[in-house]
Amino acid sequence: MPLSPNVSLKELASRTEGYSGADLAALCREAAMNALRRSLDAEYVSKMDFEEALKMVKPSISPQMIKEYERAGELLRYHERQLTMIG
């Protein structure tokens, strides 16, 4: 289902920072369902459909989890550099 011209992907991106790919997919599905609830003949997904979806779909990854993943990545890169210097 196409997006209404009043949907700004740039704005959506800024409002969904920290959302995983699966979270974004769920958000889009919920917005599409909102459009169909609004009208079974809906031809587009509106900004309001996304506004309502944002109330329901929250990020599944917490800011703390993101920090932990970043730290794990730093440690992994450090150890890879050490192994490169040895080998």
Q: Which pLDDT value is given to residue 85? A: 85
Put simply, whether the predicted model's pTM sits higher than 0.95 gets the answer: no
Query: H-helix or E-strand containing 21?
Result: helix 21-38
Length of the chain: 87
Series of mean pLDDT values for 10-residue runs along the chain (87 residues) = 96 95 98 97 97 97 90 93 84
77 contacts: CB under 8 Å, gap ≥ 6: none
CB 4 within 8 A of CB 47: yes
Q: Which pLDDT value is given to residue 87? A: 67
Q: How far is CA 71 from the centre of its chain?
A: 21
Q: Which pLDDT value is given to residue 71? A: 95
Instruction: Please name each of the domains of the chain with its CATH number.
Output: 9-86 (1.10.8.60)
